Amino acid sequence: MQARQEAPAPPQAPERPELEAESAQARALRFVWGAGKLAFSLALTLLGLLVVTFFIGRVVPVDPVLSIIGDRAPASTYDRVYRELGLDRPLVEQFWIYLKKILTGDFGESFLTKRPILDDLRRVFPATFELATLGLILGVAFGAPMGVAAAAYKGSWIDQTIRVLCLVGYSAPIFWLGLMGLLIFYANLGWVSGPGRIGIAYEFSFQPRTGILLLDSALQGRWDVFRNVFSHIILPACILGYFSMAYICRMTRSFMLHELSQEYVTAARVKGVSEARIIWRHALRNAAVPLITVIGLSYINLLEGSVLTETIFAWPGLGQYLTNSLQNADMNAVLGATFVIGIAFVLINLISDLLYRLLDPRVRRRS
């Protein structure tokens, strides 16, 4: 019996280094093209934001000249300031001048504070950033687990209770929640400190570095300041966190219900995989991808919607700065604050999109 001869191995295809180089070159070109489109889109978005806010600021029935000189100044002073502000020029020319200043980092001077607007924004934005970030942390820490629990126990008393809590947090006016919080936890119980960001005893003895007082006091080892700052920020942060928690919880529940109805969950249950492992290791991992976008949108809402909260709690942040500027017809400050909020909106959307692409390989393959 003859031994079976092994079939000869098929000839290997010759290596084609030029194809590999071509592929690398194509990937590099695709990356450059995508980065260029992204940069163009961001620039166009910010330009559109500037156009809209500038022309709205010019057509509102508010006279910025009177906010500077008052209503008792003579007509000659009014005309002189009117020309100095460039309001006698066409709107298109005014916008072009303003755009050139913005590109050089010159937002103008605030009529209210008599300081450069960029300096004012650097001073007030860390307060809003700290408050909104802590509110988002609380919202995610409570909202995501509650949404998972509501989906896991769909139709039960746990689900109904969580849905009622979310309905109240999502529909109750935030200024009413703030006033009730001050009345109960500050005026009656005395558990937290009152309005403001820091106590008067520490306001002049503590020198912040980054403007984020919790971080600065911890880095400097000033734990007495840390406790005082925390007692001021915890109530408004909880109010914002409750609003954020309601939105994140509702969306998490929706995403989890969708994932738990998929075939891979049924197959895992047939194989005997525990329910906890299915929920936390499989369903939640897939639901986390769209949840990133929801968290990003929630963060944007906190940055934009902190105006009422900062007004109620006398929080010296961007929202209070914007409100005071609107009340005093300080349109340069309004435009600067609006532009900063727009930049934050664009950057958070960009980061959410990048994280979405990083976690979902299907999106990477399509791009």
pLDDT, tens digit, 9 for 90 and up, residues 250-293: 999 999 998 888 888 888 888 888 888 888 888 888 888 888 88
Mean pLDDT lowest among 7-21, 52-66, 80-94, 109-123: 7-21
Q: What is the pLDDT of residue 23?
A: 66
Q: What is the pLDDT of residue 8?
A: 52
**Segment 215-232, tens digit of pLDDT:** 988 888 888 889 999 999
| pLDDT interval class at 31 (50, 70, 90) | low
Tokens of 316: 């010296």
Cα separation, 352 vs 344, in Å, equals: 12
- What size, in residues, is the chain? 367
> Is residue 190 predicted with pLDDT exceeding 60?
yes
> Is residue 3 predicted with pLDDT exceeding 90?
no
The C-alpha angle 30, 34, 38, rounded to 5 degrees, equals: 170
| pLDDT interval class at 234 (50, 70, 90) | very high
Amino acid identity at 17: P
> Is residue 137 predicted with pLDDT exceeding 90?
yes
Query: Closest Cα partner for 265 from 248, 247, 287?
Result: 287
Tokens of 88: 């006698």
Query: Closest Cα partner for 175 from 24, 294, 306, 15?
Result: 306
Q: What is the pTM of this model?
A: 0.79
Q: Which domains does the chain have, with CATH numbers?
A: 26-103 (no CATH), 117-366 (1.10.3720.10)
Indicate left, alpha or beta for 211 from its phi (over 0: left) and psi (-120 to 50: alpha): left
> Is residue 4 predicted with pLDDT exceeding 50?
no
Tokens of 87: 């309001």
| C-beta of residue 241 within 8 angstroms of C-beta of residue 134 | yes
Cα separation, 46 vs 99, in Å, equals: 11
Query: Closest Cα partner for 139 from 170, 101, 99?
Result: 170
> Is residue 158 predicted with pLDDT exceeding 60?
yes
Q: What is the pLDDT of residue 1?
A: 44
Q: What is the pLDDT of residue 329?
A: 73
- State whether residue 253 is helix, strand or coil: helix
Mean pLDDT computed over 102-107: 79
